[in-house]
Amino acid sequence: MKSMYAFIGETWKNEELMKPLMWERLQKWRREPAIVRLERPTRLNRAKAFGYKAKRGIIVVRVRIRRGGRLPRRPSRGRKSKNQMVSKLTPKKGLQWMAEERANRKYPNMEVLGSYWVGEDAKYKWFEVILVDRSCPDILADKDLNWITRQKGRVYRGLTPAGRRARGLQRKGKGAEKIRPSYRANFRNER
């Protein structure tokens, strides 16, 4: 027996069904500001998986972020063209992690619980970020969520699921020795 959330997840995976819906949504989202607060999550199954509850102290924000790599300035002289470090420059952070940080800067009294993809076109990606108010009495009384009140600035330290993914912490076992506890700590240990 499947739950309602399983059916929602299957619907989001069905491309034929979602394509016309997504096309209409993206037209509207492109005209909106980069960070928009929402009444309810677009993907309820993903939001619930991160711990979302429809209660006071929890908000959902949709963040638009520009896609693609980075275009650095070309050095004018003094290098071989191979060593100019112009092509294939990608940031160390993923776009989802950047979107979470932007949402947290807009709402500094809150902590990021998690985020998930909701759409993309050729120019932008959209993520919905779940934010929790650290000082809300309802959150302090909630046994499932009050752990977040003891963490501050978790998104900037890469403690959210997107941050942990960018730091390589989803890898386990053989071959993952140099990423735990962090790249930086391992670099210091090698000296």
Q: For 18-34, how does the pLDDT look when each residue is reduced to its tens digit (9 = 90+)? A: 899 899 999 999 999 99
What pTM was computed for the model?
Answer: 0.87
Q: Is residue 177 within 8 Å of residue 88, measured between CB atoms?
A: no
pLDDT of 17 reads 87
pLDDT of 69 reads 78
**pLDDT over 80 at 2, yes or no:** yes
Confidence of residue 40 (pLDDT cuts 50, 70, 90): very high
**pLDDT over 90 at 181, yes or no:** no
Q: Is the peptide bond before 181 cis (omega within 30 degrees of 0)?
A: yes
Strands (E), 19-171: 35-38, 58-66, 110-120, 124-133
Q: Is residue 97 within 8 Å of residue 91, measured between CB atoms?
A: no
Confidence of residue 191 (pLDDT cuts 50, 70, 90): low
pLDDT of 78 reads 80
Q: Sheet containing 124-133: give its strands across.
A: 35-38, 58-66, 124-133, 110-120
CATH of the domain spanning 9-151:
3.40.1120.10
CA atoms within a 13 Å half-sphere pointing along the CA-CB vector of 97: 19
d(C-alpha 52, C-alpha 62), whole Å: 15
Structure tokens at 85: 């470090």
Q: Is residue 52 within 8 Å of residue 58, measured between CB atoms?
A: yes
pLDDT of 23 reads 92
Give the model confidence (pLDDT) of 99-151 as tens digits.
999 999 999 999 999 999 999 999 999 999 999 999 999 999 999 999 999 99
Q: Where are the domains of the chain?
A: 9-151
Strands (E), the chain: 35-38, 58-66, 110-120, 124-133
Residue 119 phi/psi, 5° resolution?
175, 165
